[in-house]
Amino acid sequence: MATSSHEPLRRIAEATKSTFALYKEGVYLEGSAQRSLEDLRHQATADRLRMARDLVRSGEKFLKMRPPEYRSAISRFYYSMYHSMRAVVYFTVGGDDHQDHGTLPKSTPTDFPDRSFWENALKNARTSRNSADYDPYPLQRNHWHSIAVDLAGETNRLLALADTYLEQKGCDHL
């Protein structure tokens, strides 16, 4: 009998209690979903990108309201960018290890197009979202107009780029 045939048994025999529980969870997930963990990961990635598309549409609706709701649009655009990049990072890393808002931009894959631009764009969008959500000033609605419009363009570009990137990486269900 070849040594490699003993590898699964060796891994089970040496697994800690928590590792063994994780093995059982994986078996449970595949069995209950009737899909492989890898297929479920692809689906979760695609679903997060769909969520990002819904958020950008919501932001665009806020821009079209009369009067426009620029602060709300800024918030929705940021979250669309956040979930777009979270989908990219989740798929490339193989898990949701970097979902923290401060950590996510730094986790942009090295082969992501214009990586440094998008890292900064995501950080700046978060700063704008924080200001729009928490700062009462400036009170003038027009102050927020250009921020919201610029963010709308960036958000749509990132969504398209994330979709293309994930497709090229082999993500199913897009």
What mean pLDDT is predicted for residues 131-151?
94
In a domain, 91, yes or no: yes
* Tens of pLDDT, residues 67-105: 999 999 999 999 999 999 999 999 999 999 999 999 999
| pLDDT at position 1 | 44
Range of the domain at 51: 35-168
The reported pTM is: 0.90
Which CATH number fits the domain that encloses residue 154? 1.20.120.330
26 and 45, same domain (yes or no): no
59 and 104, same domain (yes or no): yes
Q: How far apart are CA 37 and CA 94, in angstroms?
A: 11
Tokens in use for 170?
A: 């082999």
